[in-house]
């Protein structure tokens, strides 16, 4: 019965997506890559949320909450502020320039080499980190919900390989052959199911804890684990509170404002007004995100009493324990949709970046639009296969969510830096952008993969000599031995900007950069954008004050 419900809902979404997109002309770049620039606010918001809200959040962030408590909600709540900034500052500039890809702006502002370097950085991060993490975390969830090892008589490792390839093949068909509009429409349908199913998990969990009374369940949870319900993370938590004011906002601004897989939804908006309303609506709903991606982790901690060996298994185990049998198939289908959404969104963005910024620019400059789309799709298939081979290999990477965020820093901050400098200055030259990209990546790799290990190893060795054996004390020693990776991001962001501005002073562009309005879409702003943005920011502050 569970499996039939799962298949039924999955097929329903596929049929609706096909019927809604069959008339879109996908032989053109705008048609295939941006859904014909026809997306409305509701579709933009739904697609943004489900692209983001996938198993790396459901599994990874709930796993972090299981270990560290409510403080990890910062990834969700601060995102709302970043979406407001994107709606007010970045999106008007993107749509004014008629961008299809973010690196496309860099070609116009700096030069083609800068654009190509950025596209290659995006693609490298997608294939080595993001796509495999999405596939692995998704496989962990599906395997746990359906108990695939027992169902098929295979080992846990074999079940992960089976699920990875199943998700990868279906996701590739959606993304490579459907284009952005198919992805966006299926996202919007699945977003409704995910919000319903995502809210049901904590409700059923609290009902189980409170013997049928949800409020009693919440009271028991907060009374028995008060240390887990603090919004402000301490020095040994995954995200100390002060990092909100260093690298956290930068990471979120990169993710929601410049990351191709996310912002591509807003670039496909029919006009600026719809794009801004879509971002603000998604930002408002994002504030409620901890109910879905943090609270279940806290409920799992209470139910399993911290006995799980792998924190990332907390969410699938909780779903299996609290969800009535009749709902398991439906929720598994929705989670499957969320996995596909993130996977095919990244894949579609990769196809876009390769087709426009690499193939058309460097391989075949005379290619017509159908040829660009064709070779973009071929590249997408190769990328998907590579990710499917890499995904099962990250099983021992530790906390999925922390791993994803830290590795992403290699390319996120350098790219954000050159985009910010590109839009806020007029005479900083192309050489400054190239230096910023290379120095940002190089310094971050040196910091996080060489210097960090050295200083932490040295501090722990000294603690051992002094006879320190308590786990909490050792965790504090480790946290104080080297700056948090979010602090490193903030330091490098400022350093990169200073380097670029110095180069701009010494060797400025001959002519100041002026952005032209391409008139591809109407850029009249939503008249309440600033007022609604302010309300969203105040709500974020209120959430923190309440849980402090």
Tokens of 57: 């959040």
Average pLDDT over residues 383-407: 77
* 84 vs 58 pLDDT, higher one: 84
* 455 vs 259 pLDDT, higher one: 455
pLDDT of residue 38: 65
d(CA 355, CA 381): 13
pLDDT of residue 106: 87
* 132 vs 34 pLDDT, higher one: 132
SS (H, E, C) 75-136: HHHHHHHHHHHHHHHHHHHHHHCCCCCHHHHHHHHCCHHHHHHHHHHHHHHHHHHHHHHHHH
d(CA 348, CA 53): 17
pLDDT of residue 29: 47
Beta bridge partners of 269: 39
Looking at 84-88, 346-350, 486-490, 498-502, which range is the least confident one?
346-350
Looking at 45-49, 176-180, 222-226, which range is the least confident one?
176-180
Residues with Cβ within 8 Å of 255's Cβ and at least 6 positions away in sequence, in order, are: 52, 79, 82, 262, 412
Structure confidence at residue 325 as a pLDDT band (50, 70, 90): confident
SS3 522: strand
pLDDT of residue 300: 92
d(CA 103, CA 119): 6
pLDDT of residue 442: 92
Average pLDDT over residues 272-276: 90
* DSSP H helix total and E strand total for the chain: 27, 0
User: Would you say the C-alpha torsion 218, 223, 225, 229 has a positive or negative sign?
Assistant: positive
pLDDT of residue 533: 94
d(CA 121, CA 417): 14
Q: What is the mean pLDDT of the chain?
A: 82
Looking at 30-34, 141-145, 297-301, which range is the least confident one?
30-34
Tokens of 100: 């299809």
Average pLDDT over residues 373-386: 82
* 479 vs 88 pLDDT, higher one: 88
pLDDT of residue 31: 47
* 119 vs 427 pLDDT, higher one: 427
Instruction: Specify the residue for token string 């004014």.
Output: 96
Give the Cα-Cα-Cα angle 443, 447, 451 (nearest 5 degrees): 135
Looking at 62-66, 148-152, 283-287, 532-536, which range is the least confident one?
148-152
Terminal-residue alpha carbon distance, the chain: 44
> Is pLDDT above 60 for 52?
yes
pLDDT of residue 26: 45
d(CA 408, CA 337): 24
Tokens of 239: 């995200």
Looking at 222-231, 319-328, 388-397, 453-462, which range is the least confident one?
388-397
For residue 276, the Cα-to-chain-centroid distance in whole angstroms is: 19
Structure confidence at residue 23 as a pLDDT band (50, 70, 90): low
Looking at 139-143, 175-179, 311-315, which range is the least confident one?
175-179
> Is pLDDT above 90 for 359?
no
Looking at 476-480, 486-490, 542-546, which range is the least confident one?
476-480
% the chain with pLDDT above 70:
87
SS (H, E, C) 33-76: HHCCCCECHHHHHHHHHHHHCCHHHHCHHHHHHHHHCHHHHHHH
What is the phi/psi pair of residue 519, to 5°?
60, 30
Instruction: Specify the residue for token string 């008060």.
Output: 226
Beta bridge partners of 522: 271
pLDDT of residue 228: 85
> Is pLDDT above 70 for 397?
no
Average pLDDT over residues 311-326: 83
Average pLDDT over residues 477-485: 85
- Show me where the domains of the chain are located: 39-408
CATH class for domain 39-408?
mainly alpha
Q: Helix, strand, coil proportions of the chain in percent (round to 5)?
A: 80, 0, 20
Beta bridge partners of 39: 269
pLDDT of residue 273: 92
- CA-to-CA dists, residue 301 to 5, 70, 295, angstroms: 29, 12, 10
d(CA 256, CA 251): 9
- CA-to-CA dists, residue 23 to 17, 27, 178, angstroms: 11, 11, 12
d(CA 3, CA 119): 40
Q: Are 413 and 492 in contact (CB under 8 A)?
A: yes
d(CA 285, CA 282): 5
């Amino acid at each position: 019965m569970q499996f039939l419900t799962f298949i039924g809902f999955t097929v329903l979404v596929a049929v609706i997506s096909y019927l809604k997109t069959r008339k879109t002309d996908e032989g053109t770049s705008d048609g295939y890559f941006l859904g014909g620039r026809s997306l409305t606010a509701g579709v933009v918001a739904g697609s943004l949320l489900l692209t983001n809200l996938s198993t790396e959040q459901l599994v990874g962030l709930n796993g972090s909450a299981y270990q560290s408590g409510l403080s990890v909600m910062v990834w969700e709540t601060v995102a709302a502020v970043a979406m407001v900034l994107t709606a007010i500052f970045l999106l008007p500039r993107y749509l004014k320039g008629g961008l299809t890809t973010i690196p496309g702006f860099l070609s116009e502002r700096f030069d083609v080499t800068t654009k190509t370097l950025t596209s290659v950085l995006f693609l490298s991060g997608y294939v080595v980190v993001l796509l495999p993490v999405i596939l692995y975390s998704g496989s962990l969830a599906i395997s746990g919900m359906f108990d695939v090892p027992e169902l098929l008589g295979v080992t846990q490792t074999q079940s992960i390989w089976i699920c990875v390839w199943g998700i990868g093949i279906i996701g590739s068909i959606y993304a490579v052959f459907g284009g952005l509009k198919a992805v966006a429409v299926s996202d919007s349908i699945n977003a409704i199911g995910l919000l319903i199913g995502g809210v049901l998990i904590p409700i059923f969990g609290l009902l189980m804890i409170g013997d049928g009374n949800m409020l009693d369940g919440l009271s028991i949870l907060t009374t028995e684990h008060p240390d887990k319900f603090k919004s402000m993370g301490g020095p040994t938590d995954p995200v100390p509170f002060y990092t909100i004011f260093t690298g956290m906002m930068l990471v979120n601004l990169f993710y929601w404002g410049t990351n191709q897989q996310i912002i591509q939804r807003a670039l496909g908006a029919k006009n600026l007004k719809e794009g801004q309303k879509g971002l603000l609506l998604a930002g408002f709903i994002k504030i409620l995100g901890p109910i879905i991606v943090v609270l279940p982790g806290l409920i799992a901690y209470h139910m399993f009493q911290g006995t799980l060996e792998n924190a990332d298994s907390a969410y699938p185990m909780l779903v299996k324990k609290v969800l009535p049998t009749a709902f398991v198939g439906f929720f598994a289908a929705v989670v499957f949709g969320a996995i596909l959404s993130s996977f095919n969104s990244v894949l579609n963005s990769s196809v876009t970046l390769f087709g426009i910024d690499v193939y058309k620019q460097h391989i075949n400059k005379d290619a017509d639009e159908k040829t660009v789309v064709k070779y973009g799709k071929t590249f997408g298939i190769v990328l998907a296969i590579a990710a499917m081979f890499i995904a099962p290999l990250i099983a021992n990477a530790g906390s999925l969510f922390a791993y994803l965020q830290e590795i992403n820093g290699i390319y996120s901050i350098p790219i954000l830096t050159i985009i910010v400098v590109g839009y806020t200055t007029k005479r900083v030259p192309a050489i400054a952008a190239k230096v910023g990209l290379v120095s940002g990546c190089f310094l971050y790799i040196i910091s996080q993969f060489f210097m960090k290990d050295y200083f932490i190893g040295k501090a722990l060795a000294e603690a051992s000599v002094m006879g320190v054996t308590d786990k909490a004390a050792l965790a504090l020693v480790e946290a104080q031995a080297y700056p948090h990776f979010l602090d490193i991001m903030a330091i490098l962001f400022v350093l990169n900007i200073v380097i670029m501005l110095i180069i701009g002073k010494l060797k400025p562009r001959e002519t100041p950069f002026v952005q032209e309005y391409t008139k591809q879409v109407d850029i009249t702003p939503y008249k309440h954008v600033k007022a609604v943005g302010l309300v969203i920011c105040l709500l974020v502050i209120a959430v923190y004050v309440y849980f402090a």
